[in-house]
């Protein structure tokens, strides 16, 4: 057999091996990723975001005399150090619901050593002290490491380390290694 005859067979063999490898990887990924759990969790976040968005409107209607220059720890680490803290120029507490409405707000999620893991800056938001989640109405910016994103109408959940921008999302990162990727 000549060299020219071997090349097409070799190419077919390489292609078949690539297809087989992809099929094996797809099976491994499918087993590792629980789509049902992901979908249920996403659905839970959607309901919570809707609840907090409605709560934001309710808080705005009930607003009386907000306190000024407020700092509130919302969540603690098991060792007692602060995990989630809210600082606001103005805030009103709704003791009957566990909600805090805040204006010109900074929400910081801290590591146990006190370093900032995630920071959310928003014009105004409502935070549920029981679920440790919140809804930022209007413009907001989220910073996590070298990645930041901004937009309008942001839902966040501290226990789940979950953030979703509902409108006008803009993502910036220094961590990206991909070249020529468009979303």
DSSP state of 34: -
- Quickly tell me which residue has 């249920």 as its tokens: 40
**How far, in Å, CA of 46 to CA of 50, rounded?**
6
User: From start to end of the chain, where are the E strands?
Assistant: 67-76, 82-94, 99-110, 116-128, 133-144, 147-157, 162-173
Average pLDDT, the chain: 81
pTM flag (> 0.85): no
**How far, in Å, CA of 12 to CA of 48, rounded?**
52
Q: How would residue 107 be classed by pLDDT, with cut points 50, 70 and 90?
A: very high
- DSSP one-letter string for 1-28: --HHHHHHHHHHHHHHHHHHHHHHHHHH
pLDDT value at 181 more than 50: no
pLDDT digit string (tens) for 145-175? 888 888 999 999 988 888 889 888 888 877 6
**How far, in Å, CA of 149 to CA of 121, rounded?**
11
Torsion of CA 24, 26, 31, 37, to 10 degrees: 180
The helix (H) or strand (E) run that includes residue 46 is: helix 35-62
Q: How would residue 97 be classed by pLDDT, with cut points 50, 70 and 90?
A: very high
The predicted pLDDT at position 178 comes to 44
pLDDT value at 40 more than 80: no
The percentage of residues in the chain with a pLDDT greater than 70, rounded to a whole number, is 73
**How far, in Å, CA of 12 to CA of 172, rounded?**
42
Token pair listed for 131: 């679920």
DSSP state of 69: E
Token pair listed for 1: 């057999």
Q: How far is CA 12 from the centre of its chain?
A: 44
């Amino acid at each position: 057999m000549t060299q020219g005859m071997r090349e097409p067979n070799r190419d077919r063999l390489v292609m078949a091996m690539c297809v087989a490898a992809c099929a094996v990887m797809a099976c491994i990924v499918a087993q590792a990723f629980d789509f049902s759990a992901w979908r249920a969790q996403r659905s839970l976040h959607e309901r919570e975001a809707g609840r907090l968005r409605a709560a934001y409107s309710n808080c705005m209607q009930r607003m009386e005399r907000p306190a000024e220059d407020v700092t509130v720890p919302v969540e603690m680490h098991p060792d007692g150090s602060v995990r989630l803290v809210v600082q606001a120029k103005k805030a009103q507490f709704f003791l009957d619901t566990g909600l805090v409405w805040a204006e010109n707000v900074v929400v910081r999620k801290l590591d146990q050593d006190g370093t900032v893991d995630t920071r959310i800056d928003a014009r105004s938001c409502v935070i549920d002290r029981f679920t440790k989640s919140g809804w930022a109405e209007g413009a907001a910016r989220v910073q996590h490491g070298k990645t930041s994103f901004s937009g309008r109408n942001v839902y966040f959940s501290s226990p789940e380390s979950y953030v979703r921008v509902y409108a006008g999302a803009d993502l910036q990162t220094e961590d990206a290694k991909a070249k020529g990727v468009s979303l």
